[in-house]
Amino acid sequence: MNTIQLSRRERIAIEKKKAVKQRNKKLTIATTVGALSALILTNGNASACSAEYTVKKHDTLYSLAKRYDVTVDQLKEKNVLMSDKIYEGQALLVPHLENHNENKYSVQRGDTLYSLAKKYETTIAHLKQLNGLDSDQINIGQSILVPVEQNKSNVGEIYTVVPGDTLWGVAHRFGVKQEDLAKSNDLKMDMLLIGQNLLIPGKSEVTEAEIIGASDKFTVEFKRNGKTFALKVPYGSSSDFQKKSGVFVTVIHKNGAVISAT
């Protein structure tokens, strides 16, 4: 169509489309240059200290910084970004592995987030947060980040579900709200699985002590510095502690109840 025959409004619309295409082209070039610059600045070892992340809808530099425990400035510096704007589908280097105890793991046949959480002594919720996953689904060959060792921060400790446990019972035993326990572990229902790892939110205590033995089906006695003290355990599990009488362990406990004893 001859542009002379077009109306003024139609000509303006055409010019706007051209401007948008030119802007997107510049953005693509800038992103490529930024990624290459980031690789040069890190001597080509970006993969050794960073995780590559593909931006999803509604992601912002602030939300990603919060998720990966870094600053917005660190993200901008790592990716040579001139502004805080990012777009869906963009590949970003996250300066993550250099400050955390995580490794890449290639998903194998039969793997699930539940089995990996149990294997690496973490929770499903933590794995999802670590990898920016929106669902529990993972695929064979997929590369995901897994913790090298169990988290020992004040954010919480890991408890392993035993027969007879319920979400309410675990929450009540450790003195936390049921809704907080569910939220911390990204639980959509109250059902728990035997062997499932749960993050018990909040601060806990760590005590080096000797196992004395079972007081009853709910309680175990320990000794530290010549003084004995009792802690609650899941119903029926006190017999397991009785078998370890005289053994010195590191007891992690909260609200007078044992989270773990190793």
Sequence-distant contacts of 52-58: CB under 8 A, at least 24 apart: 52/91, 52/92, 52/93, 52/94, 53/91, 53/92, 53/93, 53/94, 53/132, 54/89, 54/90, 54/91, 54/92, 55/86, 55/87, 55/88, 55/89, 55/90, 55/91, 55/92, 56/88, 56/132, 56/134, 57/88
Residue 61 has pLDDT above 70, yes or no: yes
Q: Using one digit for the tens of pLDDT, what is the confidence trace for 81-130? A: 888 889 888 888 876 544 445 678 888 888 888 888 878 878 888 888 77
pLDDT for position 207: 86
138-152, 166-180, 191-205, 208-222: which range is least confident on average? 138-152
Please tell me which residue, 221 or 22, carries the higher pLDDT value: 221
Residue 211 pLDDT class (50, 70, 90 cuts): very high
Residue 7 has pLDDT above 70, yes or no: no
Residue 25 has pLDDT above 80, yes or no: no
State the virtual CA torsion across 137, 140, 142, 145 in degrees, nearest 10. 70
DSSP 123-134: -HHHHHHHHT-S
Residue 38 has pLDDT above 50, yes or no: no
Please tell me which residue, 160 or 20, carries the higher pLDDT value: 160
Average pLDDT over residues 181-202: 88
Q: In the chain, what are the domains?
A: 3-97 (3.10.350.10), 101-147 (3.10.350.10), 152-262 (3.10.350.10)
% of the chain exceeding 70 in pLDDT: 74
